[in-house]
Structures are given as structure tokens and as C-alpha cells.
Structure 1
């Protein structure tokens, strides 16, 4: 083929960005691929709506029209939600097309199925755009997995939530004011639920789990909390202690079990995620040989995601597309920590009651070092208090209690 024919499914922020980039970067694409890239078709909801799409390109509401094209090499999917995106990509693979997706919800649910089907039809799957926008975390993890074994990944995977938390702290505004600013700048959707309630980060975390460990944990066992309950007062109190709120997504394999969470977390200056501000995304990867490496880049907006899709286009056409399935970490390489203790800051203006078999103490803000079962018990005893895990070292005179279930 002298020309690579591409269909784009969806013409929202990402789909339009991919279209414009293909048009504006023709010479660079041809230089890398040795062939020109042509957008042959665009799938839209309303084909009568005026769009800046060149004449001669099929603009349709019917995916079957795209499947019936005689020449089609790559299908780029930029639709929101599980269906019909999944069924479209299944059909595209069966037609013999490479596929690229930016749909994290759909891929978290069906990535393994699509990869197996692609293997059967000898085509490639690109999914870098499903995680962390312009941060090449998937390509990096795949390179590490040649020799290294991933032990843990944690990061800021949602630029919208990070922007809101940054605005609340830096400009001392409420959640609703920061959200409105994010929407004005185009960082947040009209319905921001997926971002601010942690769903977006959750789906991305499940994709990372599969590429690092070869499987996902039971979704129902992965805590997911958003940022909607964080108050300006809590942000001020945390700042006094040298801490910043971040929506952290974490996944690790320990003692033969994959454990993860998505939740508002307090990060100290000693931690690499402390300085990640605005719409930036960052992922910290811990592996057995290289130790810890941290990737950072823009995570929201048209261009970061478009960049990931275009890079995937290069990879799938050149035949080095991504593989979603890996074997798990050998048990001998896993970090062994029987109690799995973590640091938690408990905030409560009325004081926090810490109970044990022999004593009871009441303090204001308390830093507790304990395992998850103990934290659950303390939550039950202090229903009015707020509990936040702490990452990094703290310089504080807070009361510290070491405990375990």
C-alpha cells in the first residue's frame, strides 16, 4: 500500500485533534512511515452538522459504511463509553484493520478480548492514549518488562482532578469554583462525574494493572473515592503540615495478590508526586532492577491525547503495536510486608478518639501508622473524622500511633 487509509470514530476533542494532526503533519508521517496517511472516513453522530472536514472524506453516522470501504488499514476510536465502541473495534479487527483507542472505560473492560482477537487476525492494538494523556507510560512499562519486574505503580492519572485541587490550594477557592474554572478552560466536561469521582483514574489503573501484572484485581475490591468532599479548610490544614492533596491511583502485587486504590491522598515534599500541579499527570513506577522512575507530562486537553494516538499510529503501522497481556510477577520478587502498614492522617476539629485494649486518647489531627483493617476500625469509631493516606516523609510534631489489626 502506498497510502495508509485511516477511519476516525468520533469527532469530539480527540477525534478532531487526530484529524487535524494527520492533515498538518503529512510530511513527518510520510518520512517516518514511507507512506502518506489519509483519513478515509469519519464516524459522527450527526452528519448534517457543519464540520471542518475536507471534501471527499466519507462522513457518516453508520459504521457499516466504514466497514464496507474497500481500502481501510487503521481504525482510530475516540468515542466515550463501553458500547458501541467495543463492537465497532471487534468488527474492525475482523475486517483486518489495526485499531487504536483512547477509550479507557471500554479498554479497561474489554482490552484483553480485543488483544486476543487482534492476535488471531494478525493486527495490532494501540492504547497509549487510554492512560495519562501525553505521558508515554505504557510504552515505558513495556520496555521495562523486557528484564525488570514491576512491583508497584502509583500516580496522578486524571488531569482534571489535579487541576481542581491545585486551584483550590493556590487560589483558595471552593471545589465548585475550581470546577467551573476547569470547565471554562476545557479541562472538565459539562458532566464531570467520571473525573471528580475517580472513575477515569480507576479505569486507567485497571489497564496499567493488566499490562504490568497480567491481570486485574476484582474491581469490587479496589476502593475508589473522588475529590468532591475535599474542603478548602482541609487543604489549608494539610498545607500547614507540608502536605498537598492529590487524587492518587495505586496498584501493586504483593504476597501473590494485586491490590489497588483510587483516593484523595496527602503527599509530602519528599515524594515525587508532590510537585505535579495543574493538568499534569505523573506515574511513579517501582521495579526490581531499575528501582523507582517517574514520568510526567500533560494529561488533559486535545493535544496530549492526540499525541499519544499519533504515536500509536506509527507503532501499529510499523508492526510493533502494544501487547496488553503479560505474565505476573514471580512471587520471589514481591515485596514482603506482612502487616502492609501505611501512614494515615486523621482530621477532625472535635478530636480523634484512638482506642486500644488498654487506653483511649483524644487528639486533634493524628498521624496513624497502621494496616487497612485498623484504619477501617478507626473509621467506625470516628465517623465524623476524615481519613487520608500520607505518601512520603513528614516533618511534624503530630501524635503518631503505631498499630495493626
Structure 2
């Protein structure tokens, strides 16, 4: 018996999936007990030469693929929202399992595709939509058998992480680091999705559905990119023993799901501190196992292809997921927090006024402070000083994390 696969799109991901199916044919047969064959490839430009076996149907029309006498799995690797969604709907209606690497499309339409898949008794694989080669979705599926996940945090965008690493290690400006990312193929000509946090946002919504069975209202999620981070801010953070990371966070606060995608500072003891370049990392906290961290390549031909191939095995071996996906209720969405004390880096304030809820922890010259206070107090300071910039520090901060010679103590 043979498993027939169609690949939609033959860019970096699509080609990687095709090559991996060819190179790991024996391993797939051993695991599945069936041979896996690529039956068709959907392309955009039929004039472009491609290294595809002549027995494979190559077409620009998805209807040709749907007319194949046997079609078991459709793998979608197209950069767009609407056409891939419609293709996958038709594939499900025909009775095919589907696999996607398209995070933007799946963030918008994943709920509908999963519901439709349940109705047609097929499975959906979407490991490749989040963190490339890191098996975070499979890990969450395993944890959710018994564990209750309470929080997921991650560096989910390799482009932003590369830029922040280059700015710190090579003392580059944001513009210089972005240009280098584009030259290396890590960033698109239009890098907006990466540097403004949209890419990480879509991935966060997908993770929310897996971890909690629902997602927050999109407009309530705090999304901030990395464009406001300057060389001066990077330098001040380094003096304080901290590094900027662009971190997505989603967790339960009571019955409320709270999510954010924004720059955060981490110290040497944090697992994200050493995640550099285009690497991704995901930290999952659940009630039994506690905290676990997964780290690895977040993008690229073969890391993403690896996630797709693992999904191929998953959809062949598993029944459709029955996990409910809902939206938070109005009662839940009205909950807001701002009275929790945490550590912050603030920049642009030479002297700090006295406030009973504000504790000064460290100073790195030129108006860069580490303080402990509530977000409400930070917002009051920012209202009084329009040039003030502030960023949260993940976890607790002590002066031991930094070079004490650079931190005047005894405030």
C-alpha cells in the first residue's frame, strides 16, 4: 500500500519536504508500514525548471490535483492566506489529511479547518507553523494528556532574534543588523511581519489553541516589535547584565488568557539568555512536569521540512483531535491586571521621583534604571515624561547579574 502526497508550493519549504520524502523513504516505510510517494506538486510558474521526478504531476491548477485517483495527504507550503485556505478546505472535503506550514493562514482559519477536519474524520498537522524544527506542538499534545499547561513563552521569530544578537555582539544599529539579515536571507525585502511582531503573534495564537483550547481576543493582545530598540538601549542593558529578547507569552491568569508579544529583558539565569542568532526557543510551564525548554532552528529548508515530515507520520497514525477550540467569554476578557509588582528597565529618566510602590534596583548611566514597581506606576511615569521608554525584565533582578563596578549602589 502507498500513501500519496501532494505538495502545494515548491519554494524553500515545499522543496525541502519533497527532498526529505525522497531521502528518507526507507525510514518512512519502516515507521508507517507503507511507502510514501509524492503524487503531485502545485507550482505558480510553469516556466521555471525544477528537480522533480517526471512521474510526479506538476500543475498550476489545484483542480488537477483533486482529480487524482488516489490522494491521501495534502501538504501546504504557500505564502498567502486565502488561496491556501480554500485549497485545504477542498482537500478536507475530499477526505484528505492536511499539513500546513503557513502560520498566518492557520492563525486566521485554523479553527475552521480543524472543525471541518473533525466532520470529515481526517487529521490536521501544523507543527511547522510554530518554531520551525522545534517539536513544540507535539510536546504540548503529549503534555496535555495529563499535565495542565499554565504558561507558554518563546522566542518565535528568528529574524528578530538575529537582529538583536547582531546589534549587541557587533555594536550595530538596527538598520545595519536588518540589512545583514536581508542579505543572509533571514528577512524579506519587506520585513514588517518579523520586526513588528506579527509573525510571532500568529504563532502565539496557534500555541494558545493547543495549550488552552482557546485564544484571547486578538485586539487585546499586546504586540510590540523591535524597531524602538536602539544601540544605546542594548548597551545599557548589557551594563546591567541583561539582554533584549523578543518574547511571545501566553498564559492563564485565573480564567483569563493573557498574551503579549514584545521585547523583554532577560538575565544570565534565564534559558532565553543564550538563545542567539536565528535560533528559536519555547518554554512550557505545566502543573506536574514544571518548566521545560525546547531550543533549536526556527526556520530554514530542512528544519521546517522535518516538522512537516513528523506531521505526516502524525496524521497517518492518529485520529482527529477532539480538543475544543473556543473564544474567551466577555466576562473573562474584562479582566485586566496592572497591580502586580515586577522589574523593569526604564530609559530616558535622569532622576526618579519618590513613589511608595517604586524600588530602585540599579542604574547604568544616561537615564537607564532597573526598578521594581507596578505597571500602573510605570505608565504614570511615562505620562509625565513622554520620552521615557520602558521594558519588562523576565523574572527577578539582582545586581549580582551585572558587573557591580558599573552599578552605583546605595540609593
User: What 5-or-longer segments of structure 1 have no aligned partner?
Assistant: 330-336
Cα distance in 2, alignment partners of residues 266 and 398 from structure 1: 20
Q: 1:357 to 1:340 in 2, by over 3 A?
A: closer
For 2:324 and 2:409, the matched residues in 1 are separated by 45
How far the C-alpha of 1:366 sits from its partner, in A, is 2.5
Distance change (3 Å), C-alpha of 1:176 and 1:320:
farther
**Do structure 1's residue 140 and structure 2's residue 139 form an aligned pair?**
yes
Matches within 5 A, 1:14-163: 14-163=13-162
SS of the equivalent of 1:84 reads helix
Deviation at 1:89, TM superposition (A): 0.7
Question: What is the CA deviation profile of residues 320-357 of structure 1, one whole-angstrom value per residue up to 9, with x for unaligned ones?
Answer: 5666646899xxxxxxx993332211011x52554759
For the residues of structure 2 that align with 1:322 and 1:240, how far apart are their CA atoms? 48
The size of the alignment, in residue pairs, is 392
The match for 1:334 is: none
Alignment pair present for 1:306 and 2:305: yes
For residues 358 and 107 of structure 1, do their structure 2 counterparts lie closer, same or farther at Cα, with a shift above 3 Å needed? closer
Cα distance in 2 between the residues matched to 1:358 and 1:323: 47
- Write the distance in 1 (CA, Å) between the matches of 2:161 and 2:120: 40
1:63-119 CA-partner distances (Å, limit 9, x unpaired): 111111111000001111321111111110000000000111111111111111111
Provide, for residues 308-328 of structure 1, a one-character-per-residue CA deviation record: whole Å limited to 9, x for no partner. 001000111122566664689
Contact 2:121/2:320 (<8 A) preserved: no
Secondary structure class of the residue paired with 2:222: coil
In 1, the alpha carbon distance for the partners of 2:376 and 2:27 equals: 55
Q: Deviations over 1:356-404 (max 9, x none)?
A: 5999x99922323333333333322222121111013323357899xxx
Equivalent-residue separation in structure 1 for 2:297 and 2:390 (angstroms): 29
TM-score by length of 1: 0.90
**Alignment partners' CA distance in 1, 2:167 and 2:116:** 45
Q: Structure 1 residues 351 and 103 mapped into 2: Cα distance closer, same or farther (>3 Å)?
A: same
CA contact 1:160–1:300 (8 Å) conserved in 2: no
Which residue of structure 1 aligns with residue 369 of structure 2?
A: 366
Name the structure 2 match of 1:347.
347
Counterparts of 1:217 and 1:18, CA distance in 2: 33
Give me the whole-angstrom Cα distance separating, in 2, the residues matched to 1:32 and 1:147: 26
TM-score if structure 2 supplies the norm length? 0.89
Instruction: Work out the CA distance in 2 between the residues paired with 1:183 and 1:204.
Output: 22
- Asked if residue 286 in structure 1 is aligned to residue 289 in structure 2, the reply is no
Counterpart for residue 398 of structure 2: 395
Instruction: Quote the Cα distance in structure 2 between the aligned partners of 1:229 and 1:400.
Output: 31
Q: CA deviation at 1:13?
A: 1.0
Q: Structure 2 CA distance, aligned partners of 1:399 and 1:217? A: 41
Equivalent position of 2:334 in the other structure: none
Unpaired runs of 5+ residues, structure 2, are: 329-336, 400-406
Taking only aligned residues, the RMSD between alpha carbons, in angstroms, comes to 2.6
- Quote the residue 1:250 is aligned against: 249
- Cα distance in 1 between the residues matched to 2:327 and 2:217: 15
**CA distance in 2 between partners of 1:25 and 1:34 (Å):** 14
Q: Distance in 2 between matches of 1:49 and 1:244?
A: 44
Q: 1:162 to 1:358 in 2, by over 3 A?
A: closer
SS of the equivalent of 1:391 reads: coil
